[in-house]
């Protein structure tokens, strides 16, 4: 087999799975809405279960639900009948995945689920199966064919089940008014957590680290302050620390282009007035977005009276992992 044949086979798999996802649109119906309602009304946890490949998909769905504001966990159906059913309470909702709808390990625990009286949502590829008929509502994840040329390995069916699980999670997220800050609380680690949890106050330079000169200062004094503090800029403030402008490395290049005498010029004559400022209590990611929108690398941080309380630049964002 040559590389062209490998490419052809890979594309065929993608086309088959895309067709399965496209057909899934018809299944976002009253049954889907009912499943969302049951999950929204859940006072306990959403308990996801599934065997084999369905179990792997179920585990991912449970993780997605949990991280988007719908508390959930995965229970292996084989272990459930040997004690793990004790994890399920009468305040929970069960989401059971089985492509055939006849998975023995799940059918074994059906009577216990029924005895608990908890709502059962099935996600199956056979709406006429035992599991589908026993469920409070069934999500139809049937596919015309698997992407596997033998028609045996779960491929299209698992992709469709995963997409349907994502649809449930995102629908619930939006219905609950789940915010970026809520999301951050369950993702404190890694770059995602840093982007969502860090505030400007966590990143900015404060106190003696802030480069600042008064508006009466000379350009030479401003350059010395910039060199001393090493941020590539300085704030220009009044005697009461109110921000009136900023002077950056970029401003210096523009000053030199105008052949201004840096030894005699006043900072108030060459500074950038009406510069962009932000408060300290916003997310660092919001500050980064503002810097990118305005094509600037430096920011002055002010309080509610426009008094200077901090400074940061793009390098600070990079070091903090916000970028």
Measured CA to CA, the distance from residue 20 to residue 316 in angstroms comes to: 46
Burial degree of 61 (CB within 10 A; 0-12, 13-18, 19+): buried
Can you list the positions of beta strands (E) in 89-205? 93-98, 120-124, 137-140
Q: Do residues 112 and 220 share a domain?
A: no
User: Which value, to the nearest 10 degrees, does the dihedral of the CA atoms of residues 160, 166, 167, 171 take?
Assistant: 170
Per-residue pLDDT band for 177 (boundaries 50, 70, 90) equals confident
Long-range contacts, 62-67 (Cβ 8 Å, 24+): 64/165, 64/166, 64/169, 65/39, 65/165, 65/168, 65/169, 65/172, 66/186, 67/183, 67/186, 67/187
Q: What is the count of structural domains for the chain?
A: 2
Beta carbons within 10 angstroms of residue 253's beta carbon: 9
User: 282 and 301 in contact (C-beta within 8 Å)?
Assistant: no
Look at phi and psi of residue 110 and say left if phi exceeds 0, alpha if psi is from -120 to 50, else beta: alpha
Q: Do residues 148 and 8 share a domain?
A: yes
| Residue at 83 is within a domain | yes
Question: What does pLDDT average to over the chain?
Answer: 91
Alpha carbon of 48 to those of 63, 136, 145: distances in Å?
A: 10, 15, 25
Percent of the chain having pLDDT more than 90?
A: 77
User: 153 and 21 in contact (C-beta within 8 Å)?
Assistant: no
| Residue at 194 is within a domain | no
| Residue at 190 is within a domain | no
| Residue at 102 is within a domain | yes
Q: Per residue in 201-216, pLDDT tens?
A: 999 999 999 999 999 9
Q: Do residues 23 and 81 share a domain?
A: yes
Q: Per residue in 29-61, pLDDT tens?
A: 999 999 999 999 999 999 999 999 999 999 999
- Report the CATH number at residue 7: 3.40.50.10490
Measured CA to CA, the distance from residue 133 to residue 142 in angstroms comes to: 15
Q: Do residues 225 and 305 share a domain?
A: yes
Q: Do residues 145 and 245 share a domain?
A: no
Domain span at residue 36? Answer: 3-178
Q: Is the pLDDT of residue 312 over 90?
A: yes
Which domain-ending residue is among 144, 178, 212?
178
Q: Is the pLDDT of residue 184 over 80?
A: no
Measured CA to CA, the distance from residue 230 to residue 312 in angstroms comes to: 11
| Residue at 192 is within a domain | no
Q: Per residue in 101-128, pLDDT tens?
A: 999 999 999 999 999 999 999 999 999 9
Measured CA to CA, the distance from residue 267 to residue 220 in angstroms comes to: 8
Specify the pLDDT at position 185: 63
Measured CA to CA, the distance from residue 137 to residue 33 in angstroms comes to: 10
Q: Is the pLDDT of residue 182 over 90?
A: no
- Report the CATH number at residue 223: 3.10.580.10
| Residue at 191 is within a domain | no
Of 222, 316, 236, nearest in space to 275 by CA: 236
Q: Do residues 247 and 314 share a domain?
A: yes
Q: Do residues 169 and 208 share a domain?
A: no
Q: Is the pLDDT of residue 139 over 80?
A: yes
Q: Give CA 25 to chain center in angstroms.
A: 24
147 HSE (CA, 13 A, CB side): 21
Can you list the positions of beta strands (E) in 31-185? 46-50, 72-75, 93-98, 120-124, 137-140
Which domain-ending residue is among 178, 209, 239?
178
Q: Do residues 206 and 170 share a domain?
A: no
pTM tops 0.85:
no
Listed range (115-124, 260-269, 286-295) with the worst mean pLDDT? 260-269
Q: Do residues 7 and 62 share a domain?
A: yes
Specify the pLDDT at position 150: 84
| Residue at 183 is within a domain | no
């Amino acid at each position: 087999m040559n590389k062209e044949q490998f490419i052809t086979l890979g594309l065929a798999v993608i086309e088959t799975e895309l067709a399965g996802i496209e057909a899934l649109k018809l299944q976002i119906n009253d049954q889907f809405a009912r499943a969302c309602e049951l999950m929204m009304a859940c006072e306990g946890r959403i308990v996801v279960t599934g065997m084999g490949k369905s179990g792997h998909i179920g585990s991912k769905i449970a993780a997605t639900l949990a991280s988007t504001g719908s508390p959930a966990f995965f229970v292996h159906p084989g272990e459930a009948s040997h004690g793990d059913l004790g994890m399920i309470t009468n305040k929970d909702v069960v989401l059971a995945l089985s492509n055939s709808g006849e998975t023995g390990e799940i059918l074994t625990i059906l009577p216990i689920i029924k005895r608990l009286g908890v709502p059962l949502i099935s996600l199956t590829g056979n709406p006429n199966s035992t599991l589908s008929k026993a469920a409070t509502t069934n999500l139809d994840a049937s596919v015309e064919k698997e992407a596997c040329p033998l028609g045996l390995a779960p491929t299209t069916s698992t992709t469709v089940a995963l997409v349907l699980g994502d649809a449930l999670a995102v629908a619930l997220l939006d219905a609950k008014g789940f915010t970026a800050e809520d999301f951050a609380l369950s993702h404190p680690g890694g770059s995602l957590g840093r982007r969502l949890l860090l505030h400007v106050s966590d990143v900015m330079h404060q106190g003696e680290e802030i480069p600042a000169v008064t508006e009466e200062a000379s350009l030479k004094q401003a350059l010395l302050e910039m060199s001393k503090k090493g941020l590539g800029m300085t704030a220009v403030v009044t005697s009461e620390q109110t921000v009136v402008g900023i002077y950056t490395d970029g401003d210096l290049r523009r000053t030199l282009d105008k052949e201004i005498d840096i030894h005699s010029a006043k900072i108030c004559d060459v500074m950038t007035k009406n510069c962009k400022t932000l408060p300290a209590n916003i997310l660092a990611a919001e500050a980064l977005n503002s810097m990118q929108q305005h094509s600037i690398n430096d920011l002055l941080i002010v309080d509610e009276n426009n008094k200077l309380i901090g400074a940061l630049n793009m390098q600070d964002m990079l070091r903090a992992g916000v970028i």
